[in-house]
Chain A
Amino acid sequence: MRRRAFLAALGGALVGLPRSLPAQQVDRVRKIGILMPYPVGDPEVRARLAAFQDELRRLGWSTGINLRLDERWATDDLDRVRTASAELVRLEPDVIFFTGGRVTRIIQAETREIPTVFVGVSDPLGQGLVANLARPGGNLTGIANPEYTITAKLVEILKEMAPAVARIGIVMNPANPSTAFNRRQFEAAAPNLGIEPHFLPVQQPIDIERAFSAFARDQHGGLVFPSDLTVLAHRALVTALAARHRLPAVYSDRAMAIAGGLASYSADRREMFRQGAAYVDRILRGEKPGDLPVQQPTRYELVINTQAARALGIALPDVLLARADEVIE
């Protein structure tokens, strides 16, 4: 509970301040445009949006009373993302809420006026999306993904779980702007980790199938998945293929471990959505997105799926299980 409260407040659910803003700002119905680059109604993303809406409701914004949500589901097809983005901008919402680094650029191209709040964008500073983290300026702020160094951490965890792994592939969509950064980090850390780095670009399900089977031809392979919405969208396929090819894999999303992945190490996405809701609330109450610092995740959670481990024939050391924040059995 405290943790949840903490994360909510990271987003700015603040004592006194938002409540003290003029009531008339709260009176009229506010519009939030939501752009989710996932297949329509993806249950996990739907659950995250539910967390977002719950938080808004807790902060005094209820759909049908003083709030209208306009949702657009676009999959990771950037053309569809563009169309959805343009549609949302035409609706002139008070805030646009979205997720994904590649979506950021498209929305930024559409509007520099409407406040926009992101969740799950890697390194917004390094990508040049914001001028600085403390005061982003412009119309963009949000909750960032963990830093790229966490990719090496995924490898470290994978090596701990399956010490035999010597070849590790990093699986990402090249359309993701952070792919290049992640890949560079990964390849730079590889010698220290004593592994052979591989890059497995995936854009659609057929790529995944092809890439995994090609990579699995050689022995001692393992996979790491930095945060990528394409991977999440096809999580069932991804985890199933990893299992079929007997590739131990560590993901950047708890949903992947739930879907059957071996393990995940990341910040909690639902909490990030709640933080995003808190920022939306502050903007609806009159604050400028440019004044709200881009937030970094503070807590990381290690989730281990023992079923997947058993299927892979991996005996997990107790020390590792002891460190896990959640063990799926």
Chain B
Amino acid sequence: MGLRKNRPAEGAPVARRTMLTMLGAGAVALATAPWLQEGWEKALGAASQKDPTGLTGVLPNPGGFRYYSVVGSVPRRDETDYALRIDGLVDRPTTYTLEDLRALRQTRIVHDVLCTDGWRVENTPFEGVRLSDLLEAAGVRPEGRALRFTCFDGVYTESLTLAQARRSDMLVALRMQDEPITHEHGGPVRLYAAPMYFYKSAKWLSGISVTDKVVPGYWEEYGYDIDGWLDGEDRDGDGPAA
């Protein structure tokens, strides 16, 4: 009784076809992603112009920053308690307050920000003190070869070679998009390594130490490139002329 009904139906294998269709669609999407993405970003860019909800910010490739932190919570620092310490192989170890940094010569760079996770923010202005100015003031000793950056989240670290750090497009940034850098974006002070992927631009910067060799940073310990150059950057240059 009911045996006939019980046997799995001998009809078309619709579920299998659905699955294979998904696989095919995935392959086609991968192959055409560069074009799809361009169209998508255009549409989204137009939409986000008039989006009071901010909902477009969570859609893929939103043309906006995303929040990354490697720790659970990050202490907040402001004028009253922020300090940037420059030490290591230098003649004059120095500690700067936020006010000290603001009093130094400010440089503004407009550059595209690219994350290794695929999001980008085009033509983003950053403003702050050139790393090379701070290094000059501290007096790098002859055996100094590289820089190690530490952060007041207590965990994150980054690195640059001395030659990279002396480029004109490496900033200790105080302002982003012409506003003071907010806590979420790594404020009050973050690194901005314009010609490199954004993970090189350490947030919540609290220390710069001159070392005799490159010490890989946080993500670099997990396999990221130590030199996070963006495609098309002039790797051997001094950065754009001032």
Q: Do A and B bind each other?
A: no
